[in-house]
Amino acid sequence: MTTPWHASEDLTLRYADGSLPEADAWSLEKHLETCTACATRVSTAVRNTPAGLVLDEVRDLILTATATRPKGARGSDMCGSAAWARPAPTGRHLTTHLKPTLWSLGPALRGTWLLALLTVVVGALLLNRAAGYEATRTLLLTLAPVIPVAGVALSYGPHADPLHEITAATPSGGLRLALTRTAAVLGLSLPALTLTGAALPASGAPGAAAWLLPALALTLGSLTLASYVGCRTATAVTGGGWLAAVLVPAFAAHGGSLTARLAGRLAVCFDGAQPGWAAAAAVCAVLLAVRRDAYDHLENR
Amino acid sequence: MGGRWENDDTHADAGGDASGDAVLLRAVAAGDASALAELYDRHAGWLHARLTRRCADPEVVREVLQDTFVTVWRSAAGHRGQQAGGWLWTIAARRLVDARRVQERAARVETLPAPAAVAPSAEDRVLTALEYGDVGTALDRISPELREVLRATVVDGLSTREAARLLGIPEGTVKSRALRARAELRAALTQLNPSPTGGPA
């Protein structure tokens, strides 16, 4: 259907701005499929319309995507002529990249987790200020390390993200996305909880910042463990493990009030062990780097 | 419409450009990102305009366009010497159908039929006749629903099933509308021009 005809300037411009009637547009569209010269001219004309902005943005996104996932990562797409013709797995869509920033920061930040964080912060302040409960910081520090871990649990994986299969298949899915979302969770919960802790009276509890390294280590530990057993199980193990390690000895010990015992237990877990927590965080980070490929197949777990 | 199409000598390099596309696609298959950028600059504009005519949601158009070129990047090796423009549109049209399907939360992955060989005679006549002005008038006379079906099946080369997904109507409706559209178009053409090219199909 090669023709000696080419689209006139007028036709090109009217197609670019969308004002060309249907029948003329159909003719041009069929022609563009076979004539690169006209296709290029129409494309140039469209770039000069408001759509040019979108075209530039998408161009940047695509070139970024090709830079982060070079050809070597194409895998099964090399299997021949049927490769492009077969139905696309829905996972091909890059939906999340185009959503507003908050949306892209992950399920945790727009769901129940944010509510939980707010509840803990507001609850702690109210308990102390309104109810005059002195040992609030002890309770806060007991709970604080679990909150980022819970954020991780709600951030990545088929159970947490309705778009998981879609996002997991994008060039920036996998560990990179999990880390981005974890960073968002940490960026919000660390300052919020530390400031809340600092606003509460010490009354025997460790410093307000003492929980930061343990929380980091537990979060990294969760991510590492998640590469073996999936996000949900991993966070249940680390979060539950922490609570058990603090609460069980505090309940089992004798003498003094429960909050005093809890404060003592926290002091053991935090103050003496900071280098230990730092080392644990470093080990987990290295392990996580080694296990990064496992994040591409998390949905199997 | 005749005057809008020029037989212009300045476009004599069209053949060179078309083979240029093939060269670009081979480079893309070999992992050359700058070739992909060049291919994008040549074709993304008209693909965007064409998608926009078929989908009112600019966000979906944007996603489909991006998706199309990501697919090209991954699957350029699957290009087998077809016209690059037609090949790109095939991908974009499929992605648009897929996007609609995701949007409507319809069933998961379902095997799409192989690219349908569009039943030739009547459609070919429409396409041939598109080069003549009276079809525009005839098309204006049939209802928008029928036009939509014609566009999806005849111009965009979608199968009945894909057209049904794109337009959000049952397959049976696509078939009956396509039949009616052809009949009405034929009638309109006959009315406009008592002896249309090729005679009654």
pLDDT digits (tens, 9 = 90+) for A253-298: 777 778 888 888 888 888 778 888 999 999 999 998 888 877 766 6
Of A72 and A251, more confident: A251
Could you tell me which residues come within 8 angstroms of residue B82 by beta carbon, excluding any fewer than 6 positions away?
A: none
Task: Supply the pLDDT for residue B108.
Answer: 43
Residues B89 and B126 in one domain: no
Would you write out chain B's pLDDT as a tens digit for each of its 201 residues?
A: 444 444 443 443 444 456 688 889 999 888 888 999 999 999 999 999 999 998 888 899 999 999 999 999 888 888 887 888 999 999 999 999 888 877 665 444 444 444 444 444 556 666 665 555 567 777 778 888 888 898 898 888 888 888 998 888 899 999 999 888 888 888 887 777 665 444 444
Q: Tokens 């990047």, residue?
A: B73
> Taking the mean position of all CA atoms in its chain, how far away is CA B78?
19
Could you tell me which residues come within 8 angstroms of residue A214 by beta carbon, excluding any fewer than 6 positions away?
A: A145, A242, A269, A270, A273, A277
Residues B25 and B69 in one domain: yes
Question: CA distances (Å), A177 to each of A107, A152, A161, B79, in order?
Answer: 12, 11, 12, 31
Asked if B136 and A10 come within 8 Å (Cβ–Cβ), the reply is no
- Our CA-based measurement puts residue A68 at a distance from the nearest CA of chain B, in whole angstroms, of 11
| Distance between CA atoms of residues B60 and B45, nearest Å | 15
Residues B134 and B182 in one domain: yes
Residue B54 maps to a domain? yes
Provide the residue type at A143 as one letter.
L
Angle (nearest 5°) at CA A296 between A291 and A301 = 85
Chain A residue with minimal CA distance to B29? Answer: A71
Residues B26 and B72 in one domain: yes
pLDDT tens string A220-238: 998 888 888 888 888 899 9
Task: Supply the pLDDT for residue A94.
Answer: 45
> Taking the mean position of all CA atoms in its chain, how far away is CA B3?
24
* Domain boundaries, position B78: 18-103
The answer, yes or no, to whether residue A251 has pLDDT greater than 70, is: yes
The answer, yes or no, to whether residue A180 has pLDDT greater than 60, is: yes
Task: Supply the pLDDT for residue A79.
Answer: 36
DSSP code of residue B116: P
Residue B62 maps to a domain? yes
Asked if B48 and A51 come within 8 Å (Cβ–Cβ), the reply is yes
The CATH number covering residue B35 comes to 1.10.1740.10
Task: Supply the pLDDT for residue B107.
Answer: 41
Closest to A270 in 3D by CA, of A145, A110, A175: A145
Tell me which of B75, B103, B131 is where a domain ends. B103
Task: Supply the pLDDT for residue A70.
Answer: 59
Number of domains in chain B: 2
Residues B52 and B25 in one domain: yes
- H helix and E strand count, chain B: 9, 1
Percent helix, strand and coil across chain B, each to the nearest 5: 75, 0, 25
Task: Supply the pLDDT for residue A171.
Answer: 63
Residues B125 and B93 in one domain: no
Chain B residue with minimal CA distance to A15? Answer: B49
CB of A254 less than 8 A from some CB of B: no
pTM: 0.47
Asked if A55 and B45 come within 8 Å (Cβ–Cβ), the reply is yes
Residue B155 maps to a domain? yes
Residue B6 maps to a domain? no
Task: Supply the pLDDT for residue A83.
Answer: 35
pLDDT tens string A76-116: 333 333 333 333 444 444 444 444 555 566 666 767 788 88
Asked if A8 and B7 come within 8 Å (Cβ–Cβ), the reply is no
| Distance between CA atoms of residues A278 and A286, nearest Å | 13
| Distance between CA atoms of residues B37 and A55, nearest Å | 12
Residues B160 and B99 in one domain: no
pLDDT tens string A126-148: 888 887 777 788 888 888 888 88
Burial track A2-19 (b if 16+ CB lie within 10 A, e otherwise):
eeebbbeeebbbbbbeee
Residues B86 and B153 in one domain: no
The H or E element spanning position B76 is none
Residues B134 and B168 in one domain: yes
Contacts of B155 in chain A (CB under 8 A): 26, 29-30
Q: Which of A7, A37, A58 sits opposite B65 (nearest CB)?
A: A58
| Distance between CA atoms of residues A207 and A198, nearest Å | 8
Residues B184 and B127 in one domain: yes
> Is the separation of the CB atoms in A152 and A77 below 8 Å?
no
Tell me which of B39, B70, B103 is where a domain ends. B103
Tell me which of B103, B136, B168 is where a domain ends. B103
Q: Which of A26, A36, A81 sits opposite B151 (nearest CB)?
A: A26
Provide the residue type at B31 as one letter.
G
Considering Cα of B145, then B147, then B152, then B153, what sign does the dihedral take? positive
Residue B80 maps to a domain? yes
Q: Quick one: A73 exposed, middle or buried, by C-beta within 10 A (0-12, 13-18, 19+)?
A: exposed
**Whole-number mean pLDDT of chain A?**
78
The answer, yes or no, to whether residue A198 has pLDDT greater than 60, is: yes
Query: A58 pLDDT band (50/70/90 cuts)?
Result: very high
Residues B26 and B98 in one domain: yes
Which residues, listed in sequence order, are joined to residue B187 by a DSSP beta bridge?
Answer: none
Residues B155 and B126 in one domain: yes
The CATH number covering residue B178 comes to 1.10.10.10
Q: Which of A81, A87, A98 sits opposite B112 (nearest CB)?
A: A87
Residue B51 maps to a domain? yes
DSSP code of residue A74: G
- Our CA-based measurement puts residue A49 at a distance from the nearest CA of chain B, in whole angstroms, of 10
The residues in A 32-91 lying below 8 A from B, measured between CB atoms, are: 32-40, 42-47, 51, 54-55, 57-59, 61-63, 65-67, 70-72, 74, 77-78, 80-90
Task: Supply the pLDDT for residue A93.
Answer: 45
- Our CA-based measurement puts residue A221 at a distance from the nearest CA of chain B, in whole angstroms, of 34
